[in-house]
Amino acid sequence: MTFDLAALTADEADVLLHDMAEIVSAKRMLEDPDAPRAPEPPVIVEDPATAAAFEALQLGRASSNGSGPKLSRTVDEFIDEDEPEHDFKVPNVIETRERVILTGGEGQGKSTFLRQFGYQSSQGLHPFGGADFEPISVLLVDLENPRAQLRRKLRELRVVVRQVVGGDYDPTRFRVIPRPEGLNLLEPDDREWLYGRLDANRPDLLIIGPLYKLALGDPTSEEVARLVAGTLDVAMARFGVSVLVEAHSPYASGGAKRPLRPYGASLWSRWPDFGIHLAESGALIHWRGPRDERQWPEMLTRGGEWPWTAVTTSREVTFVRICEVIRDRGRKLSLRDLGQLLQVPKSTVDRAIKANQKQWDALMSEVTE
């Protein structure tokens, strides 16, 4: 593919240059893991158009009169640049060129939530019940679910979306690519496939996953992870897209609780701007420190108008946390024990249970079977 250098800012070009170098470096390690690594190995790109763009990126950092690199901006120049303080794709949730990984166990509703998130965002409906906003373009690349199953799930969502949006419904803002065979971003052809779809569709938000189906290499390999992450970073720099990746959590071992982070290389615990785990209870738990302030809800609940709905009242949040503790312990606990574990008065626990008595009775039946 070719790169329109005029479309890139200096910062974007620097990111693209860095990530292309990372991709080439990671590819070399995969081809020959025992080869000695130079601190800054030269980068060779075989495709002529890409090679020319890459060379231009390298040389473009020099001044036009050939006198060498320009002085960097002062701190005031950097701070006072003419740009919005926040450039949100989804208000107070995802900003331009942000990376989010959503983890969870198998069958806990990750894919359902991400499909809903994408469909709502494409129609300007806030996924967590906030005010409507300017619709964005969304591309969903499903690397796991069979076409027929994906079609059925989206058909169910479309009924709700049309009811809510009415005559403003616009399907052209939500594009879907089912590819259950997965991708292998270790290979140039599959990287070009992804870049080509982003170039053709120009989405504001890319929803893709699961993570383990982005490459055929060892998912625990740091070099494999570097190449996959570098590919996504190049896509973000080139197309200005935000990325929301679905991932599975590792299984528990040695009697410990199941980790919340993604399965695979440790890089995936550092790469995203936001790492969030969707628990069976619907709790949204941050497994890495957020790089900025956002308004992801503490809890989601199943059912209602949508498959997932944000929990907004403190009493609802308390009850969902109660359910999470009960399921984790596998038995009924006293109001006093629950209050101590949740660090709230037992009267608060009692009111939350009474307000959700039917669900509480069902939970008690579940843990006493």
Secondary structure of the chain as H, E, C letters: CCCCHHHCCHHHHHHHHHHHHHHHHHHHHHHCCCCCCCCCCCCCCCCHHHHHHHHHHHHCCECCCCCCECCCCCHHHHHCCCCCCCCEEECCCEECCCEEEEEECCCCCHHHHHHHHHHHHHCCCCCCCCCCCCCCCEEEEECCCCHHHHHHHHHHHHHHHHHHHHHHCCHHHEEEEECCCCCCCCCHHHHHHHHHHHHHHCCCEEEEECHHHCCCCCCCCHHHHHHHHHHHHHHHHHHCCEEEEEEECCCCCCCCCCCCCCCCCCHHHHCCCEEEEECCCCEEEECCCCCCCCCCCCEEEECCCCCEEECCCHHHHHHHHHHHHHHHHCCCCCHHHHHHHHCCCHHHHHHHHHHCHHHHHHHHHHHHC
108, 137: one domain: yes
14: tokens are 């620097």
pTM, whole model, 2 decimals?
0.74
In a domain, 304, yes or no: no
Q: Which residues contact 344 (CB under 8 A, 6 or more apart)?
A: 318
- Are residues 248 and 286 in contact, defined by beta-carbon separation less than 8 angstroms? no
In a domain, 306, yes or no: no
CATH number at residue 99: 3.40.50.300
- Are residues 310 and 348 in contact, defined by beta-carbon separation less than 8 angstroms? no
Last residue of a domain, one of 31, 58, 79: 79
Task: Find how far residue 183's CA is from the centre of its chain.
Answer: 17
In a domain, 120, yes or no: yes
- Are residues 217 and 183 in contact, defined by beta-carbon separation less than 8 angstroms? no
Q: Domain containing 331: what range?
A: 314-368
- Are residues 345 and 351 in contact, defined by beta-carbon separation less than 8 angstroms? no
| Cα–Cα distances in angstroms (integers) from residue 301 to residues 154, 264, 331, in the given order | 19, 28, 21
Last residue of a domain, one of 79, 107, 133: 79
31, 50: one domain: yes
pLDDT of residue 362: 81
73, 98: one domain: no
59, 95: one domain: no
Give exposure, 25-36, as e/b (b: 16+ Cβ within 10 Å): bbbbbbeeeeee
38: tokens are 């130079």
Task: Find how far residue 78's CA is from the centre of its chain.
Answer: 28
162, 286: one domain: yes
pLDDT of residue 359: 80
In a domain, 208, yes or no: yes
163, 125: one domain: yes
132, 280: one domain: yes
In a domain, 305, yes or no: no
Q: What is the pLDDT along the chain (369 residues), one digit of tens a residue?
A: 555 544 555 555 555 666 666 566 655 555 665 555 545 445 455 555 455 455 545 554 444 445 567 889 899 998 888 877 788 999 999 999 999 999 999 988 999 999 999 999 999 999 999 899 999 999 999 999 999 999 999 999 999 999 999 999 999 999 999 999 999 999 999 999 999 999 999 999 999 999 999 999 899 999 999 999 999 999 999 999 999 999 999 988 877 788 999 999 999 999 999 999 999 888 899 998 888 889 899 889 888 899 999 987 788 788 878 887 887 788 889 999 999 998 899 899 999 999 888 888 888 887 776
In a domain, 307, yes or no: no
The Cα 342–Cα 167 span in angstroms is 45
Domain count, the chain: 3
145, 12: one domain: no
Last residue of a domain, one of 297, 326, 344: 297
16, 150: one domain: no
In a domain, 71, yes or no: yes
pLDDT of residue 16: 61
In a domain, 210, yes or no: yes
